[in-house]
Structure 1
Amino acid sequence: MKIFWFIPTHGDSRYLGTSKGARQVDHAYMKQIAIAVDHLGYEGVLIPTGRSCEDPWIVAASLIESTSKLKFLVALRPGVTTPALAARMSATFDRLSNGRILLNLVTGGDEEELRGDGVYEDHATRYQTAEEYVKIWREVLTRSHTGEPYTFHGQRLSVDDAKLLYPPIQTPYPPLWFGGSSEVATDLAAEQVDTYLTWGEPPEAVREKLEVVRKKAAARGRTLTYGIRLHVIVRETNEEAWDAANELIQYLDDETIEAAQKKFAQMDSIGQKRMAALHGGQKDKLEVSPNLWAGIGLVRGGAGTALVGDAETVAARIKEYADLGIDTFIFSGYPHLEESIRFAELVFPLLPLEVQKKLAQPNLTGPFGEVIANNYTPNGKGKPHKTKEPSV
């Protein structure tokens, strides 16, 4: 099981839908989050993309030197960049980071935003472009290890003698991730990508979606890995967690919800429509499955659900998704710095993680925790141990 966190390049706050409790997301803050999650043992971070975000490639590159093991899941945008340029960027980042880049294929779901980026394609055409884009991207990177050029002429894209002189560290290319719920999206996933991502729908809906992708991949002789994107609100008790969920949307008014839902309805993303259908814009119908709360999706596009509960409950829900075949979990919480620490402290010890090995610090000895009254060390049970008196 691998746990990722999130760099909020589109903003961060204590409350949704209001500037109250908001904080400026500058480089210093993003660096704080990256250093924290790298130290805590998270596998990597997802960096979002779109016009509401800072550029993910520049953000990720700026954080290489501040981290040592953290992987960066960065967006590939067909139509916004050419596949050969994206291959060169991917290889360069992989080399400079010593093999720490992962690529997230994003076809986009907002035609208005896409037109602003110069992409004038409908949903079906975007996937035709994406299929050829990924084929070129993969081949250019794969052939870079032998120096062989690649020529391809498709219906949407073409290259002649595309070549990389500097191959990536990861072979044959940095892993490619992708999430999509439409028929053409699952076809593309089965044919082209390495890890299929889903947003946090109820477990039964996730099971059905993964089964579709598995069957399509198997028919092509391929096996994928699977991940899920969720928010999380974890506290020491279930009551505290649900209070925190309600506090997160306490300043969210109906007008703001209506405006957000109207915008989401205009998008052609099937995944976004599935997210919106979970709550229907209603604040009184937000627990859509046990401990799965859709309040974030009232105003946030994309992933709109959160696991809510105490550490044991959240760990149990994570394991339910893991039992479906999901081995990678991309979480986030508001504010992202504090919640990354809280989640690691409360939930990591309850999960079957490789990260436990990363967290072990064999060269360090106790005491751990603040020494009490300059004479007692905490034992984790609320009772202090008296330290030995020094010999004279």
Structure 2
Amino acid sequence: MSKDANFLWFLPTHGDGRYLGTTIGARPVDLGYLRQIAQAADSLGYFGVLLPTGKSCEDSWLVASALAPVTERLRYLVAVRPGLLSPTLAARMTATLDRLSGGRLLINVVTGGDPSESRSEGIFLDHDERYSVTREFLGIYRRLLRGEAVTQQGSRLQVENAQLVFPPVQVGGPQIYFGGSSPAGIDVATEHVDKYLTWGEPPAEVAAKLATVSIAAARKGRTVSFGIRLHVIVRDTNEEAWAAAESLISHLDDKTIAKAQKAFAGMDSVGQRRMAELHSGRRDQLEISPNLWAGIGLVRGGAGTALVGDPKTVAARIGEYQALGIDTFILSGYPHLEEAYRFAELVFPLLDRADRPEAARAGSAQIGEVVANAFQPSTARSRAA
């Protein structure tokens, strides 16, 4: 069981709003808005933020470069795409951003699960071939970040006397995150990565996946730690939270859902297939486990499930995942600015967290409104506790 955990938030560089699948209640996502979210996450005590990648997103490296100078402690989980970048260029970019951010860079290795998108990027490889490239890429990339001179003649990638002139701040390079549910993905993960990520499946399914990964890593003489990607919908009561979940998809029509599910079906990602199987595109079977709701996955690719409930309930569900060995939670919610505050203010006090920078600032900050213009409100963990 993982006692203390780190909690990251999400930068919605592909859009944000109050309702899924519609422009109603949507908002422009520009640098100013992303700065608001990043600075909120920084001040609220989140460990870091995930920046998504893909054709529907702003470039994660450029966004992280723009936001790192206006935050203090926040770490940036930025995507590296094997096959789109050479490992030497990726290593230089990594070392540079790690230095410019003062060692606040984390790396998310994304192999890609949409063949159509891959072809549009010039990658004409099948599922397992992409993981073969990823394996060779990481073999070069990690050695460069460790300060080695690398000559490698692989079946996919070759370099001769490659070396970094300027090293990263973090010795050996930033921690590497990676998600892949297929046998090929797990094989690469257990050979090269630090933190294996899963999407938010029911706890029993997550437990089985983590056991598979742990056994595979042990056979190679390695251990990996684990993280999970989830949305959250937290309100003062369970009834309010479920109402908010229903409201989030209240403008979705069946045609939009069917079109989205057709697009997902064309992907070769095992993880995406598992997400789709949780609900099969139906609105009437969205609570797939206690307080785990798959409504977001009706139209959103990737992470499609949310923890729904009052603060105490959501904290308890997080504790169940921690008991399985999850030590990192990458969270998001709609709209992302408001939900970042809501989760931190209502749920953080109920959690065992490894990184709590806001605790050091609590003594100098006013918490809550002064009562009757005379005295401070009493301190409590949570109204739901």
TM-score (norm 2): 0.95
Which has the higher mean CA deviation after the structures are superposed, 197-206 or 109-118? 109-118
- Is contact 1:75–1:105 with CA below 8 Å preserved after alignment? yes
TM-aligned CA deviation for residue 171 of structure 1: 1.5
**Following the alignment from structure 1 to structure 2, what is the Cα–Cα distance between the partners of residues 374 and 231?**
38
Which among 127, 130, 149 is matched to residue 131 of structure 2?
127
**Following the alignment from structure 1 to structure 2, what is the Cα–Cα distance between the partners of residues 243 and 259?**
25
1:104-143: per-residue Cα shift (whole Å, max 9, x none)? 1101011111111111111011011010011110111112
Trace 1:1-392 onto structure 2 (pairs within 5 A). 1-143=5-147, 148-356=148-356, 358-361=358-361, 363-364=363-364, 368-375=367-374, 377-379=376-378
Aligned amino acid, residue 205 of structure 1: E
**Following the alignment from structure 2 to structure 1, what is the Cα–Cα distance between the partners of residues 107 and 379?**
41
1:246-268: per-residue Cα shift (whole Å, max 9, x none)? 00000000000000000000000
- Matched position secondary structure for 1:300: coil
Give the structure 1 partner of residue 383 of structure 2. Answer: none
- Matched position secondary structure for 1:72: strand
**Following the alignment from structure 1 to structure 2, what is the Cα–Cα distance between the partners of residues 18 and 226?**
34
TM-aligned CA deviation for residue 169 of structure 1: 1.1
- Is contact 1:349–1:356 with CA below 8 Å preserved after alignment? no
TM-aligned CA deviation for residue 172 of structure 1: 1.1
- Matched position secondary structure for 2:325: coil
- Is contact 1:88–1:164 with CA below 8 Å preserved after alignment? yes
- Is contact 1:107–1:130 with CA below 8 Å preserved after alignment? yes
- Is contact 1:6–1:45 with CA below 8 Å preserved after alignment? yes
- Is contact 1:91–1:169 with CA below 8 Å preserved after alignment? yes
TM-score (norm 1): 0.94
TM-aligned CA deviation for residue 380 of structure 1: 6.1
TM-aligned CA deviation for residue 33 of structure 1: 0.2
TM-aligned CA deviation for residue 361 of structure 1: 2.3
Closer/same/farther in 2, CA of residues 283 and 362 from structure 1, 3 Å limit: closer
TM-aligned CA deviation for residue 377 of structure 1: 4.1
Aligned amino acid, residue 45 of structure 1: V
TM-aligned CA deviation for residue 173 of structure 1: 1.6
1:85-117: per-residue Cα shift (whole Å, max 9, x none)? 000000001111111111111010111111111
**Following the alignment from structure 1 to structure 2, what is the Cα–Cα distance between the partners of residues 28 and 162?**
39
TM-aligned CA deviation for residue 174 of structure 1: 1.1
Structure of greater relative contact order (alpha carbons < 8 Å, 6+ residues apart): 2
- Is contact 1:47–1:73 with CA below 8 Å preserved after alignment? yes
- Matched position secondary structure for 2:98: helix
Closer/same/farther in 2, CA of residues 326 and 122 from structure 1, 3 Å limit: same
Closer/same/farther in 2, CA of residues 231 and 140 from structure 1, 3 Å limit: same
TM-aligned CA deviation for residue 354 of structure 1: 2.9
- Is contact 1:199–1:229 with CA below 8 Å preserved after alignment? yes
Closer/same/farther in 2, CA of residues 341 and 362 from structure 1, 3 Å limit: closer
Give aligned-pair identity as a percent. Answer: 60
TM-aligned CA deviation for residue 163 of structure 1: 1.0
Aligned amino acid, residue 130 of structure 1: T
TM-aligned CA deviation for residue 333 of structure 1: 0.1
**Following the alignment from structure 2 to structure 1, what is the Cα–Cα distance between the partners of residues 26 and 186?**
37
- Is contact 1:235–1:310 with CA below 8 Å preserved after alignment? yes
- Matched position secondary structure for 2:278: helix
**Following the alignment from structure 1 to structure 2, what is the Cα–Cα distance between the partners of residues 74 and 194?**
15
**Following the alignment from structure 1 to structure 2, what is the Cα–Cα distance between the partners of residues 377 and 323?**
37
Number of residues of Structure 1 aligned to a counterpart in Structure 2: 376
1:350-370: per-residue Cα shift (whole Å, max 9, x none)? 00113445334254265x322
**Following the alignment from structure 2 to structure 1, what is the Cα–Cα distance between the partners of residues 103 and 356?**
22
- Is contact 1:40–1:359 with CA below 8 Å preserved after alignment? no
**Following the alignment from structure 1 to structure 2, what is the Cα–Cα distance between the partners of residues 14 and 201?**
24
TM-aligned CA deviation for residue 375 of structure 1: 4.2
**Following the alignment from structure 1 to structure 2, what is the Cα–Cα distance between the partners of residues 21 and 261?**
23
- Is contact 1:176–1:193 with CA below 8 Å preserved after alignment? yes
**Following the alignment from structure 2 to structure 1, what is the Cα–Cα distance between the partners of residues 299 and 245?**
14
**Following the alignment from structure 1 to structure 2, what is the Cα–Cα distance between the partners of residues 297 and 86?**
31
In structure 2, stretches of 5+ residues that fail to align are 381-385
